[in-house]
Amino acid sequence: MIALPLWIVPAAPLVLLALLLVPQARPALRALVPLAPLPALAAALASPAPAPVTLDWLMLGTELALTDTARPFLGFTAALWALAGWQALRLLRDAPGRDRFLACFLLAMTGNLGLLVAQDIAAFYSFFAAMSLASWGLVLQGGGAAQVFAGRVYIGFAVTGELALFAGLSLGAFATGETRLAAMAGPEVPALATALMAAGLLVKLGAVPLHLWLPLAHAAAPAPASAVLSGAMLKAGLFGLMTVLPLGSAALPGAAAGLAAMALAGLVLAPALGLVQAEAKAVLAYSSIGQMSLMALGLAAGLAAPAAWPLLGPAVLLLAVHHAFAKAALFLGVPAVWSTAPGALRAALLAALALLALALAGLPATSGAIAKTALKEALEAAPAGWQVWLGTALFAASLGTALLMLRALWLLADAPQKPDTAGDVALPWLGATGLVLAAPWLLPGGAAAAPDPADLVPPGLAAALALAALALVRSFGLRLAPPKAGELLGLFEAAPRPAPVLALPPPPRRGRTLVVRRGRGAVARPERGALAILGVAAALALVMALAPAGPAPVSAPPAPVTGEG
Amino acid sequence: MTPDLIYPAAGAGLIGLALWRLATCGDTLRRIMALNVLAVGIAMLMLAAGRETLMLAAGRETSTLAAGRDTLTRAAGQDTPQTAGAGFLQAAADPVPQAFVLTGIVVLVAVTAALMALAERLGARDGD
Amino acid sequence: MSPVVLFDAALALGVLGCAALALTLRDRTGTVAAFMLTGLLVALSWLRLGAPDVALAEAAIGAGLTGALFLRGARRLGPLRARPPAPAQAAAAALGAAVLSAALLWAFATAPAESLYPPRVAAALEDSGVSNPVTAVLLNFRAWDTLLEIAVLVVALLLVMTLSPPRVIPDKLGALVQPFARIVVPVAVLVAGHLLWQGAEAPGGAFQAGAVLAGAGLALVLGGVRVDRRVLRRALTALALAGLAVFTLAALASQAVTGALLGYPDGQAKAWIIAIEGALTLSIAATLCLLFTGYGRRSAR
Amino acid sequence: MTELLPLAILMTSLGVAPAILAMPDDWSRLRTAVNLAAAALKLGLVAWLSLSVAQGAEFGLGLEIAPGLALELKADALSVLFLALSSVLWLLTTLYAVGYLEGGTDRSRFFGFFSLCVAATVGIAMAGNLFTFVVFFELLTLATWPLVVHRGSAEAHRAGRIYLVYTLGGGLALTLGAAWLYALAGAVPFAPRGVLGDLPQTHPVAVTAIFVLLIAGVGVKAALVPLHGWLPVSMVAPAPVSALLHAVAVVKSGAYGIMRIVYDVYGVETMQGLGLAAPLAALAGATILWGSFRALRQDDLKKRLAYSTVSQVSYITLGVALISPLAAVGGLAHLIHQGIMKITLFLAAGNFAEGRGVKTVSGMDGMGRLMPGATLAFTVGALGMIGVPPLAGFISKWYLGAGGLDAGQPAVIALLAGSGLMNAAYFLPILYRAWFRDPPADAVPKRRIGWMLAVPPAVTAGFVLAAGLLANAPFSPLGWTRFIVSLEYL
Amino acid sequence: MVTETSLLVTLPFLAALAAAAAPRAAATLGMAATLANAGFAALLARALLADGARETSLGGWEAPLGITLRADGLAALMIGMTALVGSAVALQAMGRPAPGRPAPAGGFWPLWLATLGAMNALFLSDDLFNLYVTFEILGLSAVGLTALTGSRRALRAAFDYLSAGLAGSLLLLLGVALAYAEAGRVDLAAVPALVETMRGRIALALVLAGLAVKAALFPLHFWMPAAHANAAPPASALLSALVVKTALYVALRLSLEGGAGIAPARAALAVAGSGAMLWGAWNALRAERLKLLVAHSTVAQIGLIALALGVAGNPADSTLWQAAALLMLSHALAKAAMFLAAGRIAEELGHDRISGLNRTELRPGAAEFAFAIAAVSLIGLPPTAGFVGKWVLIEGLIAREAWIWVALVMTGTVLSAAYLSRVVSRCLRGGPHVAPGARRPAWHMGDVAALGLAVGALALGLASALPFALLETTLT
């Protein structure tokens, strides 16, 4: 493989973005958008990892390198960006803000790819900020009321998360005295710094208390954007946490417990809230929250037992890769379904999607199963106290996912056809599905694991529960009133401010000039002047006569001796 | 009242009178007249002070008068000094204040003429 | 109380009384008459104070010319219409005046008054070129004061020329004016010449001579001599300005010769002084005449 | 000959001002030529100066005014920093002003006083002692007042009156303080690490009172909280005036004044000894928060930018007040960064007003589509202000944060984060409206934006990017500030 | 060999006479004499800087008997000031349209030259009686200048000015008489002797009262605003900038001679000065006409200078009086420029109401700019000489912990900024005079003079080392 310079990874989309600014070149370059992440993909797959690059003139001395954990991330991120880019081109061919969307898309791509290879704080933070701010543009695409509300919530969370990360990074940089990112995991970094950095990244990961923006954003954003948002960007948060937290080097029992609590809350809440959603993409979003909580649980375990991290790491990684591809494929599938009228073709598509959903739910002989079993074995090595509820948590996760998948498929089934979506939208989806299905053979040592009957139970139970619920609905004629999107925040939505009634301009202020209109000048009476002279002469004579020679100058303010004409 | 208090008193009186009049009347002519009276008062005080020095030196022949008379006689070739009128023509005072007063008088007449010219140009109407 | 003291007291009271009258009478001509009387009495008091030169000048200029100016002014300014001042102001003025005059009296009475000048004047009188100490002071020791004094006269003339008040056209006075002038003018010219020459030794000098000549001039004008002929007025103006020019040029010449401004070459001091005094007399006379007769084109009444 | 360089730099604008003032109004081509030539010449000289100062050369020349009183011009590292900023931005703003005022009245008067302002700023930068600083500081007031009232409307004059009251009041306080210091300490040259010698020990109360007076005098122009009233009001001035003056020349000379007083008159030890650093930092912090808070509710675009200037300039004061080399680097760098960012915003705002007649934030809908170039520049400036990393703002905030920690004040980090949040809160809605809202149906262009109006904001936006990206390059603002601080603190 | 001092005092009088005699050639003669006088002033200054102060006794007679002309730093500075302002004002007078036929006595020129001669004589004089005579010449010629326009108000003002001036001079003469009675001599060397006894101090008090009238110091300034406002522009420039300064100069001379003993007089001067500042500023704020505003600002600035003289303290131990001298110099330049500019504005617009400055379509730009620079110098903002003067003053005051006076100087500055910005902001205000149709009058000799003086005030700010060096050679 040719030795690719590492700086090409973030540079390719950036250059394309710069070229896009030139109006004349736009039509030609638009087609290149899906190809922009390919150099990154090549770099990820290149057998001799590209050599690290240091540019000390760039910002505070930038260092780019591809670590082992970063390679898989870079791989699936680049692939996802390519597929999403392809579908975005097709889906938004004649959307009004298309160029603006593409610009934001490219900038987010730069950020996402860049932060995976950045080794120093400034570069990492720059790419992180570029990614989160640009994706604000993705969410706002379409300009509807939902998009506006989702955008406001998203930018709120994003900026807060960024500032928390900034504060954490600067505290850490000051404590360690150097600007390398890896140093942030060092022992002398204060707990506050780690906490702040973790908070910033957890916002991006979508862990439970900080997840409020995620369902809104995914529902509002166009499908390819949602695919990239949940597929690649959430993982960026995960990657950040894996570099920043002292996984495998120090035990942080307190932090581990907190992280575990958040993960478990996510595992439980996600399916509960997801089921009641009215929108397919929202349901998928909640399933992402569930999956990400699972990975967070892995991290928590790693924190609790650093010794277990060598096992847990790859497992979490595997889970991440699997979830990225599966969730992206599902999201890409949504427009494919919309483009078909209810009928045979839609049924076929739904069947394929069902296959994907089952893979995600961890059906044996699929990549999902492999990932889940890897995680299960890794969690064995978790500290003793955790064993008891780890098993139930895994079971709940897979059950929840299965239920959510069914709900999503159900919603997709009777979704109205959107005639304007182009026919060939499905192609990138097919590519993604192919990758997911081929995963067991691609991943090393995947196929060998024997199917374990216990894995069958969750999907089966989910199917049974679904049928029971369906029957109930049919018999009692319950109509499910879907709540408004963004459950808690919906309450805060500000009523639009009433347009100001036409206010009259303030009355002109009368000029405050100091000129007081005096009457005709008082007739100058010369004798008053002479009286003044007489008075002053007499007074001065008295002062000079009586005052002894050389007193300190009189400091009392003046009192004019006589009236003045 | 020792003799040498009369003229200072008169001078001071004139000054007081003039200043009082200046400070109480606005008529142009009267103000000019008051200023002239003031100047005369000052001249009187000055000359009184000038003679005062001479009176103190009364004991000895006043140097100025004698010197003045000697040169006079020498010029006129006579040997006996012409004695001025006994009581009436007093011994000559200090000449410098006399010069000052003389200059003062001439200056005063010039300024009075100017004041009168201005007053007349201002016209008789506003004599308030 | 020797008769001299009595005379002095009477004279002082006379002066004060006339001055008070001059300042308080409501009738214009009355005030002018009182003022001229004050002038004469003051001239007498200068004699008593041993200042004959000043007495002469006071009589000629102080009483005579100023009186004439006031008469002209009184005629043109019309009746006196003074608004009485506010009582508070009058009281303050009276109090202030009283305080000031009392202080002055006390100061002058108790002043030690040992002047430095008599011994120095006596010592320097020898080479001052004149024997009359007053003329010596005026034209030699403090000649610069005199030069500036002439400048005052010239500037006053310039001011009057700029304002150009209406000229004095005397109305037909009684039959006595012409004969009076016919007698007075030649006598005045003689007296002026004598005063000028005698100034070196005895009381007299440029100012007194000039004043007398001016008196003569006034007599001529009042006698009906028409001054509005352009040639005469321009000649008089030139003469008036010439005085200061001569004096200044003499000063500069003296510095060229002796190195000190107004330092007459020793030995010729008397000649320089007499020359200067001659020019001054003529110019003072012309100036005082012009100051009285005014410059206007056509005269209002 | 080289020691005449500071004088030459000063004369390029001081000498040009009367010539332009005398020019009749319609000689616009000659006037523009003279203006731009002078600006370019100044740029060249400043470059030469900075090169030689980098190699350690020192420039200085003095003119004895009165016994014990001298006008001194001295070009050291700190002065070159401010000099470079004002001369670069003057060239751009002159270009912009020429385009902006096409067809306006009184242009000779405008450009005459415009170059007089820059002359005053250059004078302030190169002042060698406190007296010269006071002289040029007052000259700046006089030169800027006619520009504020340039439009001649009653509103402009009300603003002018308020401006005059504030700045003259400040000037009086400064003069009083400086005279008092001269009375106590004789001549007060600017020398690294302060010149007060044993004065703080012998007259602690007097020295503190003088410090309060000096900072009050200078604080008016640095828009510290109680004295910032004039800045939003004088936004009535034409755009180039508010761009160069109220974003760069006037406000920065206030901050520069604080720097000179803290570093070169009092010196770091005296500041700590008398406990003056903490209150100043607190005041700066209060200004930062207050400025951002007030900016939130301003609907008028330039007023919002003005309040943001009030808060951003106090970053510099904060950097100076936190006694630590890192904070100093942050403060000094922010002097440059805030300048280029704020001038980009003001020039873009000027373009919006001129091009579309849009003066308020609510009118900014769809501006991205109507005037993409200006909005892009505005976006770069705004993001820089918030402190988004690749741009200049992030660098200075980063160092300020580090400096805060170094000075043992972790609250600084919270302050920076808080104000960053508020910055986002008042800048992002503008960006949102510009990019993601559709333009009003009846949007009609008011005036064609020539290249003279379009290029300057683009160039300054480029500077913002470059200052951020190339921060570590030797000649970047950050590099130069490190060079200065190494002199000041070692 | 004829020295500069003697030429300085005699040449102007000769020129005045020549101008009076030949009215048609008055302008050229006057201008030539003024420039020659400026040349001699420069020569005198150079000679002083070279070999210090010198005294020439007139007629070779020594001090008490004769009169000596003392040419030292302070005198040379004042003569230089008079020459500089005089030449600029003469330039303006040259440019004025000659009336139908030349005024009867040559009008402006002889009177101006007489004023110049009188001032030179006054600055050089070292004798109280001589001062009285020079004050008389100055009074008369200044009144002549005031009455030049011949308008009713000007004549009224001239009469009041002359009568007040005469009263002041007579007070001065009374003081001289008492001084003679007390110390037996009238030259300035008598002042230290006078200061000891009570009578001597009363004499000095009377002299100072006379000077206060002449300098239009606060309680006695009633005659000045009308006179300065109604005179012709060159005349009012001369009156405000130079004539009122002479009395302040003599007061400074007395303070120098009197040393510590005259402290009560200095205190009174300071009190009156601060009163003048406040009263002048209050009236200026309420003035409706431009020239009246400038005249009231003269009252205020005279107050500031008097205050500076008053608080200067005993000249033996502090050089603060030099700040007062510099303030006099800078005020002269700035005030002359301001009056010339105000005159030009009134001439062009036909009126000088402040509210009407921007109502006509005519825009005397140069005059307004000169007015603005002069205003800057009067307020005392850098880089003008006014600022340097105020800075040195404040520095000296602070060194002596005289906080009340510092506060007063500051208040004066603020008030002057207030009333002067009324006018300058009016010129910048919108209106027909800035509309595209507005036309600018052609450059006029008056504009050149006004701008020259204003720039002079600026340049003096930078070059104020020269006046300070000159002041060092003053004999105290």
Alpha carbon distance D93, D82 (integer Å): 16
The predicted-structure confidence for A99-147, as pLDDT tens digits, reads as follows 888 888 888 888 888 888 888 888 888 888 888 888 888 888 877 888 8
Instruction: Please check the confidence at residue A510 and state whether its pLDDT lies above 90.
Output: no
**Is E71 in contact with E44 (CB distance < 8 Å)?**
yes
Angstroms from A538 CA to nearest CA on chain C? 6
D contact residues 429-458, partner A, Cβ 8 Å cutoff? 432, 435-438
Nearest to A250 by CA among A296, A310, A297, A306: A306
Neighboring chains of C (3 or more beta-carbon pairs < 8 A)? A, B, E
Of the partner residues A130, A140, A163, the one whose CB lies closest to the CB of residue D390? A130
Alpha carbon distance C246, D452 (integer Å): 75
Confidence of residue B78 (pLDDT cuts 50, 70, 90): very low
Is C164 strand, coil or helix?
coil
Inter-chain residue contact B38 with E170, CB threshold 8 Å:
yes
Of the partner residues A97, A163, A171, the one whose CB lies closest to the CB of residue D405? A171
Query: For residue A2, what pLDDT is reported?
Result: 61
Distance of CA A103 to the CA centre of its chain: 17
Is the model more confident about C169 or about A499? C169
Question: Chains B, C: CB contacts under 8 A, how many?
Answer: 300
Of the partner residues E2, E174, E180, the one whose CB lies closest to the CB of residue C255? E2
The domain ranges of chain B are: 3-76+92-122
Inter-chain residue contact B49 with E133, CB threshold 8 Å:
no
B contact residues 16-45, partner A, Cβ 8 Å cutoff? 19, 22-26, 31
Q: What is the mean pLDDT of residues D376-386?
A: 90
Q: Tell me if D266 is assigned to some domain.
A: no
Q: What is the mean pLDDT of residues E406-410?
A: 92
Alpha carbon distance D155, D163 (integer Å): 12
Which tokens in the block code for residue D470?
Answer: 């190339």
**Is E10 in contact with E122 (CB distance < 8 Å)?**
no
Q: Tell me if D411 is assigned to some domain.
A: yes
Angstroms from C257 CA to nearest CA on chain B? 27
The backbone torsions φ and ψ at residue A523, rounded to the nearest 5 degrees and listed phi first, read: -60, 125
Query: Which residues have a Cβ under 8 Å from the Cβ of E433 and sit 6 or more positions away?
Result: E357, E358, E359, E360, E361, E362, E363
Neighboring chains of A (3 or more beta-carbon pairs < 8 A)? B, C, D, E
All residues of chain B having their beta carbon less than 8 Å from the beta carbon of residue C155 are 110
All residues of chain A having their beta carbon less than 8 Å from the beta carbon of residue D413 are 167, 170-171
Parallel/antiparallel/unpaired status of strands E54-57 and E68-71: antiparallel
Query: Is B35 within 8 Å of chain E by CB?
Result: yes
pTM of the model: 0.84
Residue environment code for D370-408, b if the CB has 16+ CB neighbours within 10 A, otherwise e: bbebbbbbbbbbbbbbbbbbbbbbbbbbbbbbbbbbbbe
Instruction: Please check the confidence at residue E300 and state whether its pLDDT lies above 90.
Output: yes
Query: For residue E336, what pLDDT is reported?
Result: 94
Let me know the angle formed at the C-alpha of A270 by A265 and A274, rounded to the nearest 5 degrees. 155
Angstroms from D401 CA to nearest CA on chain A? 7
Q: Which amino acid is at A307?
A: A
Confidence of residue C200 (pLDDT cuts 50, 70, 90): confident
The predicted-structure confidence for C244-292, as pLDDT tens digits, reads as follows 999 999 999 998 888 888 888 888 888 889 999 999 999 999 999 888 8
Question: The domain containing residue D406 runs over which residues?
Answer: 337-490
Alpha carbon distance A166, A146 (integer Å): 30
Query: Is D61 within 8 Å of chain E by CB?
Result: no
All residues of chain E having their beta carbon less than 8 Å from the beta carbon of residue D131 are 391
Query: For residue C286, what pLDDT is reported?
Result: 92
Interface of A with C (CB under 8 A): 527-528, 531, 534-535, 537-538, 541, 545, 562
Query: For residue B86, what pLDDT is reported?
Result: 33
Inter-chain residue contact A564 with E264, CB threshold 8 Å:
no
Query: For residue C33, what pLDDT is reported?
Result: 92
ipTM above 0.90, yes or no: no
Question: The domain containing residue E156 runs over which residues?
Answer: 4-98+106-472
Inter-chain residue contact E59 with C259, CB threshold 8 Å:
no
All residues of chain A having their beta carbon less than 8 Å from the beta carbon of residue E402 are 553, 555
Inter-chain residue contact E17 with C245, CB threshold 8 Å:
yes
Q: What is the mean pLDDT of residues D162-180?
A: 92
Instruction: Please check the confidence at residue D455 and state whether its pLDDT lies above 80.
Output: yes
Q: Which residues pair with A120 in a beta bridge?
A: A180
Inter-chain residue contact E156 with B46, CB threshold 8 Å:
no
Of the partner residues E14, E118, E202, the one whose CB lies closest to the CB of residue C248? E14
Give the least confident one: A87-96, D153-162, D305-314, E335-344.
A87-96
Alpha carbon distance D217, E1 (integer Å): 58
Q: Tell me if D239 is assigned to some domain.
A: no
Q: Tell me if D468 is assigned to some domain.
A: yes
The DSSP letter of residue D260 is I
Q: Do chains C and D touch (3 or more CB pairs under 8 A)?
A: no
Which tokens in the block code for residue D173?
Answer: 């306080």
Of the partner residues A537, A551, A557, the one whose CB lies closest to the CB of residue E263? A551
Which tokens in the block code for residue C252?
Answer: 């500069």
The predicted-structure confidence for B30-67, as pLDDT tens digits, reads as follows 999 999 999 999 999 999 888 765 554 443 334 444 44
Q: Do chains D and B touch (3 or more CB pairs under 8 A)?
A: no
Could you give the C-alpha distances from C95 to A531, D243, E198, in angstroms and in order?
11, 68, 22
User: Nearest residue of D to residue A104 by CA position?
Assistant: D435
Distance of CA E288 to the CA centre of its chain: 24
Inter-chain residue contact C117 with E60, CB threshold 8 Å:
no
All residues of chain D having their beta carbon less than 8 Å from the beta carbon of residue A193 are none
Alpha carbon distance D386, D429 (integer Å): 12
Nearest to D430 by CA among D354, D374, D367: D367
Domains: count for chain E: 1
Query: Is E130 within 8 Å of chain C by CB?
Result: yes
Confidence of residue B127 (pLDDT cuts 50, 70, 90): very low
All residues of chain B having their beta carbon less than 8 Å from the beta carbon of residue E127 are none
The backbone torsions φ and ψ at residue D388, rounded to the nearest 5 degrees and listed phi first, read: -65, 135
Inter-chain residue contact E166 with B104, CB threshold 8 Å:
no
All residues of chain B having their beta carbon less than 8 Å from the beta carbon of residue C45 are 7, 10, 44
Domains: count for chain D: 1
Inter-chain residue contact B90 with C137, CB threshold 8 Å:
no
E contact residues 145-174, partner A, Cβ 8 Å cutoff? 156, 160, 163-164, 167-168, 171
The backbone torsions φ and ψ at residue D470, rounded to the nearest 5 degrees and listed phi first, read: -90, 35
DSSP string, E367-401: HHHHHHHHHHHHHT-TTSHHHHHHHHHHHHHHHTT
Confidence of residue E404 (pLDDT cuts 50, 70, 90): very high
The predicted-structure confidence for D402-452, as pLDDT tens digits, reads as follows 888 888 888 888 898 888 889 999 998 898 888 888 888 877 888 888 888
Could you give the C-alpha distances from B3 to B55, C5, C8, E464, in angstroms and in order?
11, 6, 8, 60
Q: What is the mean pLDDT of residues E361-378?
A: 87
The domain ranges of chain A are: 1-245, 252-444+452-487
Neighboring chains of E (3 or more beta-carbon pairs < 8 A)? A, B, C, D
Q: How many CB atoms lie within 10 A of CB A341?
A: 10
